[in-house]
Amino acid sequence: MDNAMYSEELAVAVRVVHMACCLCQRVQDGLVGTSSEQVKSKDDDSPVTVADWSVQATVSWILAEVFGSQNVSIVAEEEIQTLSKPDSADLLEAVVNTVNECLSEAPKFGLKCPDKALRTSQVLDAISRCNSTGGPKGRHWILDPVDGTLGFVRGDQYAVALALIEDGKVVIGVLGCPNYPMNKEWLNYHNKFYQAMSKQSPPASDSWEKGCVMYARRGSGEAWMQPMVLGDQKLEWPNSARLIKVSSIDNPAMATFCEPVEKANSNHSFTKGLVHSVGLRKQPLRVYSMVKYAAIARGDAEIFMKFARAGYKEKIWDHAAGVLIVEEAGGVVTDAGGRPLDFSRGIYLEGLDRGIIVCSGAALHEKIIGAVYASWDSSNL
C-alpha cells in the first residue's frame, strides 16, 4: 500500500487514542475501590462508566473537527439514553467535565482543542453522532471507547479501540492498552499487585506503568507500539514507536493461549476440550478485552480462541482494530472454518462460523482448525 494512503487518518487516530487512554487512566484511578455513581448498567446488564461516554464524545468531537462532521461516519458502542435520563444528571455532569478536561489537553497530543468548553448539548451531540451501522460501502470509523468495562471497573486490563473501515475492509487499527505491561512477566499478576510492587521499587523506563498504544495500516506488513504519554510529556509521533512482531513458536506444547475472563458470552468448556486435543500444555493467559489481540501481536502469547455461547453475536468494534494489528504483525485471524472475518455487514460479524481463532502463525492455526473440525461433532455446543 502507498505510504501516503491513510497517513493523516492514522496520525489522528493514534493521537486521539493516546488522549483517550489518559482520560481513562484518570477515571480509573478515581473509580477503583469506590462504590461510585459513575458506573451504570445497560439494558444487557453490562456496566458502562463515565469513561465510556467521555471517550466516545472526545473521539467523535476530534474526528468531526479534523475531517468535518458531514464526512465522518462512526459506529460505536454507547448510546445516550441512560445518560439523558433525569436521574443521571450527576453522571452527565461528570461526563461533560471529563470531556472538557481531556479536550483542553489536546495540544499535548498534537491536536486542536475547542475555543471554549463544550456545553452539555454539544457533548450529547458528539456521543449520539456515533450512530452509523457501517456496511459494505464508504468509510466508517469503528470505536469501542472502553473495551472490557468489567476489567476497567476492577482496576484491571481494558482497551480503547479505534479502527477505520473502507468499503468493508479494515484499513487502520489502533489499540490503546493503558494497563498493559511493557514487561510480559507482569501479565500474570493483577494490576493492583503490580502497582503496590512498583511503589516499593521505582520502575525502569520501559516498565508496565507506561501502558502502550499499538497501531497498524493495512498492507504495510508492519505493526507498531508506543509507550503511553505520562504526566506533562508531549506525544512524539511516530518517533517513540517500535516495531512489534508475533511469536515464532509453532509447537503447541510451547504455546501460550489467551482466553476471555468473562464467562457470560464464551463457551469455556469447548475451548478447554480443544486445548487438550491440540496439546497446549501451558497455563492460559486470562485477559479482559481486546488486550488479547495486543498480547498476540506483540509475541506474548500465540493463540486466542473465542467460541460464543448460543445466541451471542460478535460485534465489529470488539475485533476490528485488534484483527488488523495481529495480521500486520504477521499473525492469522479467521473464524473456526478458516475464513477471514467479514466487517462489511453492519455492526455484527455476520456469517461467523462457530468462533474466532487468532494465531501467531499459519502452522499453529492449521492445527487448531483441524482440531475444531475433529472436536465439534462430539461437542454439545
Catalytic residue among 149, 256, 271, 334: 149
Q: Which residue in 60, 118, 64, 65 sits closest to 92, CA to CA?
A: 118
Q: Does the annotation mark 149 as catalytic? A: yes
Q: Count of CB atoms within 10 A of residue 374's CB?
A: 12
Residue owning grid cell 494512503: 5
300 annotated to bind ligand: no
Q: Does the annotation mark 256 as catalytic? A: no
Q: Count of CB atoms within 10 A of residue 121's CB?
A: 9
125 annotated to bind ligand: no
Angle in degrees, 0-180, between the axes of helices 50-67 and 89-104, rounded to the nearest 10: 50
End-to-end, the C-alpha distance of the chain in Å comes to: 41
Residue owning grid cell 476530534: 62
167 annotated to bind ligand: no
DSSP, residue by residue, 299-321: TS-SEEEEEBPTT---BGGGTHH
Q: Count of CB atoms within 10 A of residue 105's CB?
A: 15
For the chain, the farthest-separated pair of C-alpha atoms sits apart, in whole angstroms, at 63
Catalytic residue among 49, 52, 256, 300: 52
77 annotated to bind ligand: yes
DSSP, residue by residue, 88-147: GHHHHHHHHHHHHHHHHTGGGGT-PPPSSPPPHHHHHHHHHT-B----SSSEEEEEEEEE
Residue owning grid cell 509507550: 227
Active centre residues (catalytic) = 52, 149
Which residues make up each annotated binding site for Mg(2+)?
Answer: 77, 144, 147, 318
Which residues make up each annotated binding site?
Answer: 77, 144, 147, 318
